[in-house]
Amino acid sequence: MKTKKNTLTVGIPFYQKTNVEYFDIAIKSIINQTVAADNIHLIQDGSVGPELSKLINKYIKKYNFIQLLPLPKNGLPHALNQSIKKSNTEFYARMDADDISIKSRFEEQLSYLKDNPKVEILGSWAYEFESDHLNESLYLNKTPKDKKTIENYFHYRNPLIHPSIVFRKKVFNKIGFYNENFFTDQDLELWSRALRDNIKIYNLQKPLIYLRTENRLKRRSQLSAIKRQIRIRYSYNTCSFKFNFLKLAAILLRLLPISVSDWCYKNLRNL
């Protein structure tokens, strides 16, 4: 699949505690795509150590389409907003510094977006794994397909896998950028606005990324994160008793000890 110039920018945020080995693998998975990105933004949130700096310098010297965006430490939503505003491409893709994109990811996503011009936010399924165990205990995270099922899912679970997303960049002119007051769940808050504004959203029904689950639950279980999630969940209302019950259950689950929440996530996620 050939693409015209200025088609795709990929933003990969990182910070001081980013694992150098994982970051290296993540960058390589973007460089080795069957359809290459026009630009890769390595978005630096605050100062980093010498090992990360060495890795970054290696890539920006070797590839002229890789650009370092050094920013003062202001959190993920600010970092993403700066990258999106600096991009000059039709599409903008998310990627985390510890995840791995399957080789055909952008080929498949850009092909779908080309054939479906009304879709403005496109995600996919993901293989989840812990730490270094890529070939062990893979879990297939299946996200809902279209807007109606995504709306229902939103009330109790995140209907989109953030690092799998490709945006049609013009969507930010309609719904605004990431809310910089949300240091966690900024993606869920963005989806709530997209749903309220009837933005067409779709998830490809196949896995296009490998997602590390290490430490994700811990970050989501902080009290401040739970308060933000309550605000988001109840900003998008439903009259359904079922979905209101599931919404409350999802919030209560995050109040449990992390070990219990982790067990519930691993054992109840297929329900």
pTM of the model: 0.86
* Within-domain flag for 110: yes
* Element of type H or E holding 39: strand 39-45
* Within-domain flag for 1: no
What are the φ/ψ torsions at residue 264 (nearest 5 degrees)? -65, -45
Residue 198's region, left for phi above 0, alpha for psi from -120 to 50, else beta, is left
* Within-domain flag for 124: yes
Residuewise pLDDT in 10s, the chain (271 residues): 555 667 999 999 999 999 999 999 999 999 999 999 999 999 999 999 999 999 999 999 999 999 999 999 999 999 999 999 999 999 999 999 999 999 999 999 999 999 999 999 999 999 998 766 666 668 899 999 988 899 988 888 899 999 999 999 999 999 999 999 998 889 999 999 999 999 999 999 999 999 998 765 555 555 666 666 666 766 666 656 566 666 666 666 666 666 655 655 555 555 5
Which CATH number goes with the domain that contains 253?
3.90.550.10
* Within-domain flag for 2: no
Instruction: Show Cβ contacts of residue 250 under 8 Å, excluding neighbours closer than 6 positions.
Output: 155, 156, 157, 233
* Within-domain flag for 163: yes
* Within-domain flag for 212: yes
DSSP lists the bridge partners of residue 91 as 8, 168
Total tally of structural domains belonging to the chain: 1
Q: In sequence order, what E strands does 72-200 have?
A: 91-94, 100-101, 121-129, 139-141, 166-168
CA dihedral 110, 80, 69, 14 (to 10 degrees): -100
* Within-domain flag for 152: yes
Taking a C-beta distance cutoff of 8 angstroms, is the pair 91, 7 a contact?
Answer: yes
**Paired sense of beta strands 66-71 and 121-129, if any:** unpaired
* Within-domain flag for 3: no
DSSP symbol at 164: G
Single-letter residue type at 58: K
What are the φ/ψ torsions at residue 148 (nearest 5 degrees)? -65, -50
What's the domain range around 161?
A: 8-268
DSSP symbol at 115: H
